Homo-oligomer: A and B are copies of this chain.
């Protein structure tokens, strides 16, 4: 019992997994506000007090679920984008957007958990910020590749598709100072080399993407762009034009 795990450790890991799984099931069914430790324990055939051997409080269980949700979304988006890698930045952007929306539609309550209104009384700790950034990192890479490709540099971007759209096709206002330094900081972190105005457009596209998904999921498109498929993919292409992908 030196290198490999002890029986206790294996059992512990297994039960931790089962607790999260059941909790995730409850969140999916009723939303995060209704997640209850007692109900999770009941469903697993445990005493409610037993859960405290695994999570020190309800909030810690919630945190674990939030991290898992960010990771699940991140992984899906990373894979979807990677699968379109040979097809150029616009196709990757489309795949990235479709990945976000697809995951959100498949897991509406988990999406609400991370992008909806914050759970009352809950404050997200530090550990969530890494997983939370994964989608942004994908987008940043996309921007950097598109910029590099348009500037003739050889990079991870494949040969650009026929008729590369010019970067920033519509007139670009100069950035006011605070926005300029914010954009520079973001670019330095996730999209090296990308100039400020393009970075800001990326941020706009980012909020646009999640704005549409949230509107669709939370029922705000009912009566206008509903069903939202056509609207969504049209908007995604418009944003690609706007950003210069």
Contact = CB atoms under 8 A, between A and B. Distances in A.
Interface of A: 30-31, 33-34, 112, 115-121, 124, 129, 136, 169-171, 173, 175-176, 178-179, 182, 185-186, 200-201, 203-204, 207-212, 214-215, 218-220, 223-227, 229-231, 234-235, 237-239, 241-242
A211 B179 CA distance: 18
B170 A242 contact: yes
Contacts of A30: 120-121
A119 B136 CA distance: 28
Contacts of A116: 116-117, 218
Q: Which of A119, A124, A210, A234 has the most CB of B within 10 A?
A: A234
B179 A120 contact: no
A31 B215 contact: no
B118 A234 contact: no
A238 B201 contact: yes
B238 A182 contact: no
* Main SS class of interface, A: helix
B203 A210 contact: no
Contacts of A169: 170-171
Contacts of A119: 33
A186 B136 CA distance: 32
A208 B204 contact: yes
A126 to B, nearest CB: 12
Contacts of A220: 115, 210
Contacts of A121: 30, 34
Contact of A230 (B176, B234, B238, B241): B176
A230 B112 contact: no
Nearest to A219: B118
Contacts of A224: 136, 182, 185-186, 203
6 contacts: A30-B120, A176-B230, A182-B226, A200-B235, A204-B235, A207-B211
A237 B171 CA distance: 11
